[in-house]
Amino acid sequence: MSTSAPHVRRGDSVLPAWVKEGGRAVLAPVVRLAIALRLTPNTITVIGLGITILASTLVALDWLLLGAAILTAGSLLDAVDGALARAQGSGTAFGGFLDSTLDRAGEAILFIGVGTWLLRTQPDPTLAVLGLMVALSGSFLVSYTHARAQGIGLAASVGLAPRTERLVLMIAGVALAGIGITVGLIAVIGALAILTVVTVVQRIRHVWHLSAATIPDTKEI
């Protein structure tokens, strides 16, 4: 018998449910196009990483609005691989592994791009870069807690800032900086630093409660 929870509560994330539902509706025609072009989920995953690299390079070079626009398109494409795998019934263990691995790589590359921009353009980027380092470390720990929970047969998808929320916030921050509101990007970085740490704590607490609930009762009857 599995020790994972039968239902995972996700209502505590920073994005409302209607935003996610709207995103899924947008993805439907893209998935149909990918099927028509005979693209595989793994191909979509690799293309998504390439788009992230391009967008992050543009951000580092001070093309912030263009970078934010390409990141938005890339984030939609990033969600296509999973939807395509479900539609084709072609999901594989390697596909899931590749998707998770390249997601982490893409997030790191984006943070490096933003950090490079801060170092190149800001008179004193120290606090912002430190916040970015905390946010990146927290992001990786959010993903790690999820993976480790799965490794012991539990679900840990709860929390304020899973990957989609982090990506939306970062794109919004980059776009704000692109129209001259640099403090908006810095505020987003600070918010991500806090939210990722809180999410790690939430997931640790969640797994703790789940694991305690699955300990068999050894008392004699």
CATH 1.20.120.1760 corresponds to the domain 17-213: yes
The pLDDT of residue 139 = 96
Specify the higher pLDDT residue, 155 or 39. 155
The pLDDT of residue 22 = 56
Neighbours of 147 (CB within 10 A): 12
Please determine, for residue 107, whether its predicted confidence score (pLDDT) is greater than 50. yes
Structural contact between residues 152 and 4, judged by C-beta atoms closer than 8 angstroms:
no
Tens of pLDDT, residues 25-68: 667 777 777 777 777 888 888 988 999 999 999 999 999 999 99
Please determine, for residue 4, whether its predicted confidence score (pLDDT) is greater than 70. no
Gap between the Cα atoms of 125 and 145, Å rounded: 30
Structural contact between residues 146 and 157, judged by C-beta atoms closer than 8 angstroms:
yes
Q: Name, in order, each residue with C-beta under 8 angstroms of 149's C-beta and a sequence gap of 6 or more.
A: 155, 156, 203, 207, 210
Tokens matching residue 170: 């970062």
Mean pLDDT of the chain: 84
Catalytic center residues? 103
Arithmetic mean of pLDDT, 99-126:
95
Q: Is 92 left (phi over 0), alpha (psi -120 to 50) or beta?
A: beta
Q: Name, in order, each residue with C-beta under 8 angstroms of 90's C-beta and a sequence gap of 6 or more.
A: 40, 41, 84
- Top mean-pLDDT range of 5-9, 142-146, 215-219: 142-146
Cα–Cα nearest to 132, from 192, 67, 208, 58: 192
Structural contact between residues 96 and 44, judged by C-beta atoms closer than 8 angstroms:
no
Tokens matching residue 103: 């997601």
Secondary structure tally for the chain: helices H, strands E: 7, 0
Q: Domain ranges for the chain, please list them.
A: 17-213
**pTM for the model:** 0.82
Tens of pLDDT, residues 76-88: 777 777 777 777 6
Residue 76 CA, chain-centre distance (Å), reads 12
The pLDDT of residue 77 = 77
Question: 17 falls in which pLDDT band (50, 70, 90)?
Answer: low
- Top mean-pLDDT range of 9-18, 93-102, 174-183: 174-183
